[in-house]
Amino acid sequence: MIRVEHLTKRYGDFTAVNDLSFEIEEGHVYGFLGPNGAGKSTTMNIMTGCLSASEGHVRIEGYDIFEEPDRAKKRMGYLPEQPPLYMNETPLEYLKFVGEAKGVKGRELHRQIESVISQTRLEDVKDRLISNLSKGYRQRVGIAQALLGNPGVIILDEPTVGLDPIQIIEIRDLIKQLGQEHTVILSSHILSEVQTICEKVLIIDKGKLVAFDKPENLEKLLMASNAVSFIAEAENDEIKEVLEEIEAVADWQMKKQENGSVRVDVKIESGEASDVCRHIFFAFAKREKALLELTSKKANLEDVFLELTESGVDKASVDKDGKTDKPDTEPTENNDVEWMERQVDNR
Ligand SMILES: Nc1ncnc2c1ncn2[C@@H]1O[C@H](COP(=O)(O)OP(=O)(O)OP(=O)(O)O)[C@@H](O)[C@H]1O
């Protein structure tokens, strides 16, 4: 459906997108994930024909975005990071304007406007001035305009940035619904967002693709960072004996507690942490030694993301340059959003 081939974008001496290639298939929700400045917006702007590329090709359903831009653009709806809304118009007026600009006319335009207003639940505000709408509703208007012309692909650049937690949840639900009828590509630097909405994730860092897979497969990549911790009332030799019985155990550290028990942190090389927990539990029970605590830590997408972007070590075999620079991130903003989301999720 979309084929990106060896895409490169240079701003002067700076390479913002570096030899990016990937293919998007029909009917999935794709997450385009990366730290701030990774090159997500640049890539999306090129894919949607808003920006030229220094090198490479983008084909939308076979149409080259640079050679046949009209045909290619017809097949895509785009919500840029800053949606170009006219504040002194109502959603209805604005959607009419955008629909006409996309070449939709007459009754068909009327039908499509009704349909996108209903899909994005704008009925109650369709006659209010956009300048008087909340950011969440403005974002809905932005999504509604992307849906006009009934494109197969919807591209959304950071659609939840700046929204409050309730609005974030509403927009995510809307995106999930859109994914039932369209191919959706969504850029984000919020991991939990991509994990909950997307079926496939592209991770981009410093303009390069570092991973492209299902969220669950990316987590499997980091099985090695699965870990188990326990506190046992046993001697070091007995603990060593138990751990040596378990093939999946890669390494461990023991620390004597004040009450005489021993805290053990175990690194797992392969397999499930729960299987290792089960083995440890029964091994100590058989020896009639008490386990005071037993917990496992499963690698999640966040671990994959940090591993692939912060360390620059390429576990997905896409980028082999092994850079170790830290990305240009703005953790405060991300943390605020994720913290607020957790408050809502926990209610
Ligand atoms: N017009 C420009 N001129 C020079 N450098 C630019 C220009 N536009 C973007 N850049 C740089 O290119 C890099 C990629 O920017 P881009 O906006 O694509 O990243 P992003 O992944 O979308 O980041 P964010 O999540 O912050 O939006 C950044 O280092 C940015 O500063």
**Distance, CA of 193 to CA of 191 (rounded, Å):** 5
Give the helix ranges, DSSP H, for 179-266: 191-197, 215-221, 236-244
- Determine the atom of ligand 1 nearest the C-alpha atom of 11: 4
Give the pLDDT band (50/70/90) at residue 60. Answer: very high
Give the pLDDT mean for 75-89.
89
The DSSP code for 271 is S
Pinpoint the residues of the chain covered by CATH 3.30.70.260: 221-297
pLDDT per residue as tens digits for the range 194-243? 888 899 999 888 899 988 988 878 766 665 567 899 999 999 999 999 99
pLDDT at 104 over 80: yes
pLDDT at 191 over 80: no
Token pair of 190, please? 């919020």
Ligand 1 mutation target, pool 41, 78, 305, most atoms within 8 A of CB: 41
CB-CB contact of 21 with 7 (8 Å): yes
Q: Which residue has the higher pLDDT, 178 or 217?
A: 178
Would you say the CB of residue 189 lies under 6 angstroms from ligand 1? yes
pLDDT at 318 over 50: no
Mean pLDDT of the chain: 84
Q: So what's the pLDDT on residue 344? A: 37
Pinpoint the residues of the chain covered by CATH 3.40.50.300: 2-213
Q: Is the pTM of this model over 0.90?
A: no
CA distances to 68, 81, 131, 337 from 169, in Å: 37, 18, 22, 12
20 closest CA partner among 53, 50, 48: 53
**Distance, CA of 59 to CA of 69 (rounded, Å):** 10
CATH 3.40.50.720 fits 221-297, yes or no: no
Q: By percentage, how much of the chain surpasses pLDDT 70?
A: 85
Interhelix angle for 135-147 vs 91-101, to 10°?
Answer: 30
Q: So what's the pLDDT on residue 35? A: 82
Q: So what's the pLDDT on residue 268? A: 85
Question: Looking at 18-27, 58-67, 234-243, 338-347, which range is the least confident one?
Answer: 338-347
- Determine the atom of ligand 1 nearest the C-alpha atom of 45: 18
- Determine the atom of ligand 1 nearest the C-alpha atom of 9: 12
Q: So what's the pLDDT on residue 327? A: 35
Give the pLDDT band (50/70/90) at residue 37. Answer: confident
Burial group, residue 12, by CB count within 10 angstroms (0-12, 13-18, 19+):
exposed
Pairing of strands 200-205, 29-33: parallel
Q: So what's the pLDDT on residue 210? A: 87
Would you say the CB of residue 38 lies under 6 angstroms from ligand 1? yes
Beta pairing partners, 322? none
Three-class secondary structure assignment of 156-195: EECCCCCCCHHHHHHHHHHHHHHCCCCEEEEEECCHHHHH
Q: Report the chain's C-alpha Rg in angstroms.
A: 25
128 closest CA partner among 178, 84, 88: 88
105: three-class secondary structure by DSSP: coil
Cβ neighbours of 105 (radius 10 Å): 10
pLDDT at 84 over 50: yes
**Distance, CA of 181 to CA of 35 (rounded, Å):** 29
Indicate the CATH number of 2-213 among 3.40.1280.10, 3.40.50.2300, 1.10.287.110, 3.40.50.300. Answer: 3.40.50.300
